Every structure is written in C-alpha cells, then in structure tokens.
Structure 1
Amino acid sequence: MSVIAERPLGAVAADNLKDLAQFDSSEVLLGYQKRWIADESPLKIAEKSRRTGITWAEAADATLCASTSKSDGGCNHFYVGSNKEMAREFIEAVAMWAKAFDRAAGDIQEEVLVDDDKDILTFVVYFASGFKVQALSSNPSNLRGMQGNVTIDEAGFHERLAEVLKAALALTMWGARVRLISTHNGVDNLFNQLIIDSRAGRKRYSVHTITLDDACKEGLYQRICQMTRKQWSQADEDEWKAGLLKDTATEEDALEEYYCVPKQGGGAYIPRGLIERAQRKGIPVLTYEAPQDFTKWSQAQREAEIKAFCYEQLQPQLDQLTDANQHAFGEDFARSGDLSVFVPISILPNTRLRVPFMVELRNLTYDQQKQIMIYILDRLPRWVGAAFDGTGNGGYLAEAAALKYGEDMVDQVHLNIGWYRDWMPKFKAKFEDGDIEIPKSQDVLDDLRKIQMNKGVPQIEKGSGKGADGKQRHGDSAVGLCMAVRATYMEGAPIEYQALPANDRWGDNPESDDYQDDFKGAW
C-alpha cells in the first residue's frame, strides 16, 4: 500500500482534484497544501508567499512517511532549515501531526552531531516504524551517509545551497525524494535558476507556485480567522492583504515576499542577441490582407480568392517539407486590427526546431482563416500536434481544428498567467540553447521583444505597436511561435480519412478545369 493512499485530510491525486477554491472549515489542509502533499514527484519545488503553510503541510507528509513501515513505502525524513528556530518549529509540527494521526512516536529528542569539529544540537522524532524525522543543520556533510527524503526549507536563503543540494540529490539514487521550499531571494539566486530551468524543461523538478492571492483564494485568510475566532469578511481580507503589502519596505520587496517575483526581474524576456542569432535569411513571411469589402463578396468569391493564395503562396513552401521530419503547428488569432499568425515548425534531429515559413493574416474572415488552416494542416508531413489560441473569438478556429483533427491533436489554449509561466521558459530555452531557426524579419524580432517580465511572469507587453508597414500588431508572431514550440511537445497522430468530393470543390490543383470554371464563375 502506498503512503499517499492511506493519507487522511482529503488528500487526493493531483489529476483528480475537486474545486478547491471554496474554503471548507472542516478540512485540515487547504487545497494548495493538499496538492503539495499529493505530488509524489522525486524532485519538487514550492516558490511561495510568506506564511502560507507549505512547511506545515510538509511536516504532515514527513510524519506520514516516517511512521509508515518499510514494506508500505516508509523512510526517514531529514529537514534542512536555514536556522535553529526553523528546525525546532518543524520538529514540533511533526510531533503535533504524529499525535493527530495517532501514529506511535516518541517525544522530541535532542541529539548532538559533530559539524566541522563543533557539536551541533539537532532535533529528532523516532517512530515505531523504525524511521525518524530529523532536523539537520545546513552543513552539506550532515547528509553524507544518510538515507531518506530531504526537505530544504527557505532554500533561497542557504549560503551553500548548491552543496546542500548536491548532497541531497545523492540520496535519490536509492529512491529518496528532495523538496525545496522558499520565498524568493533575488533573480540570480540558485533557487530561482532551478525554477527557470525546470520550467524550460532542463531540470525535472515539479514546480508549485503559491502567491498570496493564490493562497487566499483557497482560504488562507479564512483559516486565519477560524484559528483566531474572528468573523471573516471579504472587506477584512482585502484590508489585511493591503496592510501586508503597505508594510513592506518597497513595492519590489512586496512582490518578492508575497507574489513570487524575484527582485531585478523586469525588462525584455529574450535578449535581442539571442533572437538575432536564431534568425535566418530565406525563411519567408507570407502575408494576406483582406480587401475592405471582402465580407461583401460572395462565398464562392472568397473561397476562390483564398484557394488561389494557398496554391500560389503556400503550396511551394509546403512542397519543400519532407516527411523525414515531424512537424507541428502554432497559431495566434485575431479577426481585425491585430494579425492572425500561422506557424508551421519542423522538428529536426536533436530536438532542433526550424520554422519553414510563417503566415500573417489581417482582417480575414473566420471561414477563410479556417480554409487556410486546413490547407496547411492537411499537407503538413507527419505533424504531431497543433496549439491554437482558444481565448475569446479564437475559440472558433481552435474548436474547428479540434473537431476536424481530434482533441488529442489540438491544444485549445486559454492564454493566462499560468500558461505563460509554464511555456514561455521552454520557449526561451530554445533561443538560449541555439535550437530554433526563425524568419529574419524586423517585425518578428520586435514582436519577440514585446515579451516582458510582468510580476515575475513573461507576458506580451500591453498596448499595440506598429509594424514595418505602419499597421497595428501586438506581439502576434511571438505568441504564434511560442504556440508552435508548445505543439512540438505533443505526441499525436492525425486521423486518416478521405474527404468526400463535395468537401473539396476544386480539388488540390487550382489549374484544373473544374477550378478554373468555378473561379471565373465566381467573378
């Protein structure tokens, strides 16, 4: 039996969570605390606001694990804090949980370890299972020869985090797990770098983000009111949060302490030099802007116009693609004003990516955007997935693609902070590692430079700009490119089918007699 299977507190698997946004006073742990415990990843990180109770939840997890027999997955648990007070607090929480769980455990004991020829007092709780939870100092040598799970608390404030982590990771060879918990301590801190690398896919840590707002949405302040016997109200909660932020020395400090934003984290997300290094001459950006009266044309006229564009502009580029490579597809949607951008992408050996061409569409009707999208995807060799902007009006095209090719092939993305936080680091990593080739276009470069850090999350800068043609654009190709990179992580396979003749009124060749007759008749 796994330890997680017998846990109380309503802890459930992360992929089977109920709506945890509603506070339930009968639950011992809040939703984000449950998810932290339920995540059994070998390596995981919590970047958190101050005093959100993640360490308290971690003490519950340590208690359950250490009090479980070896045959059921139990093991020792070692806690490495940045000071003696934190160590005592954690062990006291373990003793409390042991009593609450009715797990046989001894009293808190104090033991002496030799730490660099000095006697260091440690705190420990022994369980009837034969395992223990022990708080150690931050000296990396204390973990040598140990075996069990390791929690490194306030990791961002350890002076020797790299060495402590190196010692802790050695324990994972025999199945132990490592957890890092901390508020941020600067953008250049190793703790922040581990998070960046994990989101980029370079490290395999599972990352949990708990801002003050995240915690309050799941009942943090309501729990505080419950414990202090105070009546909760939304107005009181808002005043409480405002007071916390106001009392912090600077706005930058407040963002770091309560919103997981490491200091000095502003500015353009992808350096200009990395973008220019990725740009290649000869990769075309194909554009189509619908005439002002396009919506007044007949359906046959509109279809014929776009069929000609596809055959004359897109087909020569598609003909150059080879089925020796897999492909993917990204899209950013706009109906008017901004651009819709279609980005096919080739997956080359060694996970290198190359954009063979891009398509920018302005003021084009929904149906004709769908027409171009289907034209490309029907001819894209061995494509593994497509990511569409499913936000707002973009939902039409995203849904159309999912209905035609299957939901396993199409990710209908709702652009939000969480999505940007998860996928922009992976996107940036392709530029940092020199693993992507994109068109050499000033507009594309300017779009990518619009990805800015906003409260610690890379997002498209608010406000519209103008392209080389003097017309409006808003980082559109940056989103399309990021969507394409996201789609390369998919592992689908398109459904094989044969279209009925009525669904392809002109066939594949606009020079055919049927096409020419219809095309001329449309005019």
Structure 2
Amino acid sequence: MTSQADIDRDTSPVMTRDPRASLPGDLPRGADIPDDLDPLADGVLMRHQADWIADPADIKICAKGRRTGITFAESFDATLIAAAKRSAGGQNYFYIGDTKDKGREFIGYISHFAKIVAKDLGEIEEFLFEDQAEDGTTRQIAAYRVRFASGFRVEALSSRPENIRGLQGVVCIDEAAFHRDVRSVLDAVTALLIWGGKIRIISSHNGMLNPFNEMIREAESGKLPASVHTVTFHDAVVNGLFRRVYLMKGKTWSPEVDEREEAKIRAAYGARRAAMRQELDAVPADAAGAALTRVQIEAAMEPSTVIRLHFDDDFKHLPAEYRKAYVTGLFRREVEPALRLLKPGDRHVFGFDFARSGDASVNWIMAVEQTTTRRSPLVVELRNCPFDQQREMLFMMVPMLPRFSGGKLDATGNGAYLAEVTAQRFGAHLIEEIKLSEEWYRTHAPRYVDAVAERSCRLAQDEDIVQDHQGLQYVGRIIKIPDDHRTKGSDGLDRHGDAAIAGMIAYAASEDMRIETKIETPSTMAEVDGQQAPAGMYRDTRRALWG
C-alpha cells in the first residue's frame, strides 16, 4: 500500500516472528512511510482498515492474517483519539506490543500522522514507564511517547505492565496471542471501561488453545461483549494490497498480479498447511506444532471414570491421624467403588505424575487386554494434597489392581519421595522411579502419541484430558508439554498437561510389564467409623462416565 516504503528482500516469503529478520520482498513492512502520506486521502486505507476504524465498540478484537495493515490503521485511529479535545472524545492512548521494535514502529506512525492530520509537532520522546506491581515492587519499562496539543498523549510500551488497571484511556494489545497470560490482561483492562476507556485486542493466531482464540470464541458466543473482526491475507489482497505495492514500486498492476503474487506466497509454505492457514487465513492451528489433533484425541476416547479431589490449604495442618482417617474414608466412598469395576481378566499398570501445589497429581490406571489394546478405566486426580495423603491414597489403590503388573512414578523434584517409598513398599521389581528428562520424552512420547493416534491406546473421555493431550507439542525434536503451556480446567483451576503426562507414563509401564503380582496385604490405613470431615475441607468433582 502507498503507506509503506521499499523493504528488504528475502529469498523465502514465509513470514517470520523474529523482529530482526527481513520480510518477503513482495510484502510491505511499513516501518517507514512516505513523508507526504495522508491517510485521509482517497484510497489510502483499504476497506478492512476503514471498517476497523469505523467500529465504535468498547471492546474490539481482530484476528488477522500477516501483513493486513490492521496495526497501521489502529495507529491512525490512535492519533485521532489523542489529538481530539476531551469534549470530542479525546483520551490518552496506550499501545502494548509484544516486542520493543513493534512499539517503536507504532510510535513512528503516530509521529507521522500527528504532523499530517493533527498539524502537531509529533516529536517522539523515549522515556522509562514506571510500573508498580500489586506487592509494591516497581520496575521501569522502556517506552515511547508523542504528546498532543489537546493535552493527551500516545504511549507505546515495550512490554506488558503489571499495573494495567492504572492506565486510563484506550489500550491496544497487539499480537495478544504471543503475550504471556493474555487472559489476566483482559481482566485487568476491562476496568478501563468504567471510565469510558476502550480496548483493542489485535493478533494473528497462536494455536487453538491460546487464550486469544478462547477470547474470540467467548465473544462470538455472546459471553464477552466484544466486536470481532477477522481479516485474512486474501482479504487484504482483494482490497488492494498488491495494487498499492505495485504503485509504490512504479510497476504496472493488473488483476492477474493478485492471483499470481498470492499463489507465490502460499506455495512457499510447502506442506505446512496448518502454518499457512494460521498465518495467512487467521485459522488457529490445531496441529501447528501439536503432536495430536483434537480429532485424533477424541477418536481414541471411551467412557471411563475420572475422579478429581481438591484439598483446601488448611487440611495439611490437621493432625496426622485425622488426615489419615479422612483420606481412608474418602477412598472408601469415592475411589474403591471404581476400582471394584476393573475387569479381573485384564492386566493393570499405573502411571503417576506428581504435583504438590499448583498443578494436579494424576494417577492413571491402564488396563491391558488379551488383544494388547490399552484402555484407561480410571483416572484419579489429587490437587493440593499433602505428601502423606498422596502416599496413603496410592498405597490403598495398588493392592486392588487386578493382575497388577507394575507402575512407574515421576521421580522428578518433589516426586522423588513418593516414587521412592512406593518402590520400597511394593518392590523395585514392580515399581520404577523415572526422571522426566529430554531423553525419556524422546524415547517414550512418540510411542504413546502413535498409540493414541492409532487407537490402540484408549483414553478416558473427559474434556480436561482432551486439552491436556492437545498440549503435547513438538519442542525442538521432542514431544512434551511446553513449560509455558497453561489451560483452565473444568474446575476453573490451572492445568499443565497433567493427565497427558500421567497417561504417557502409564503407557510406558504397559510396555514394560513385570510379572503380574497379587499383593496380599492388609490395609495400613486405620479406618475410623463415623468420622466426618469438616465442611468445605475438600471439593470432589468426581465424574463417573461409565456407559
């Protein structure tokens, strides 16, 4: 478009997220714009850019393909807002990009438009934005600013401030899908609406499970009062992208140019169809980097029992005898009935992914049929459960597993204690303490993923378990849950792929079955008749899905 100067050429037109890398020669970058560019001139803004600016919604969300010019259009709107008097709707404007370069580019647009449209000086100031967190600590964020004669200003911050609630005016979060914890960002900026502020959320997609995509789905379903725009690379082409590129370069444009240039860009993605659709067509990639698609995961599922037990923080401070008796009663009521439904003819193993707080400990029971098909009849999750009670629960479960053929436990970090005492209790010939290292994932993750995809390993039918398995990603050349992966479970609590790792460990145990052993042992848990738990001591979100 005429708003963008000549750009560096690159041998591949596949878009990169590295701000230091040059972009394809056939696509406008927009870091520099002609001195005489007037965005009010006829034909400068493309239709989708004008539609975005014209939308008066308090919350606007744009899912965009790459190089569609939405951020450029937003910078023009920001200039008009900050240049206007308060009586005409003028406000301060804050731009929050995902890189410092993005902020510098945005403020460059503001400076230009201030001179052309608002007849302001448009001088760019570089300053340090002081950000104060809730705990009182402060940090300084590199930022850029343009002041207007109206008394308002546009500020472009190089990173997301903790104290977003302290900003008053219009806030734009650019490339929101690539910000950390964008959900909490949205929760914070909604406070601006009380004082007449507005929110703009702009981004290309970053996967199906990303909070940005979830936000769009909420808006489209009416749960979030927001206006949603979807602008694809093809939309930009139809609306005149290459016509403007050719005009800028002094070339002759024809309708055939659009088809040829777009085809060239798409062809450069080769077999990476999911990446192409995400980056150009604004379609979140279910399998972009994912080891399993949702379709594959759901196809491998069948009705099973999923039990979730959540312990309050105060539980760990109760007397040990009481905690033991309470967990014993909980086991008898909730877990033992499910264990009695296990088929006595199948061999059984378990995989245990340990967590003490934050995430959930997951004990995944896996049955191996005569046909060698693996099934998952029972999954037990413990959240915020003290070490001793995790041990007690596991020690009651293992003796009830028919034709018990071994178990593996995550012995990484705090899990080392439970793994060690379990091996001591049932024998190292049955129990293996494993370290979840890159080498372990390299060996076992592909086998588990293939078994799920081929449906020779059946999963418990549960939405949280679906999302956990969607979190299995190719990190380098290894399949694992990325460190920064987080989803919200059905109980509203954070998950970190907990069940997927437990399932993977259980599958590894099923491939390494030991001589089946019937554990003849009296329960070491003293059962206290009639003992009642204090109200609210735990929350049980057990879901029995047996058909």
Q: Provide TM-score, normalisation by structure 1.
A: 0.45
Q: Provide TM-score, normalisation by structure 2.
A: 0.43
More helix by share: 1
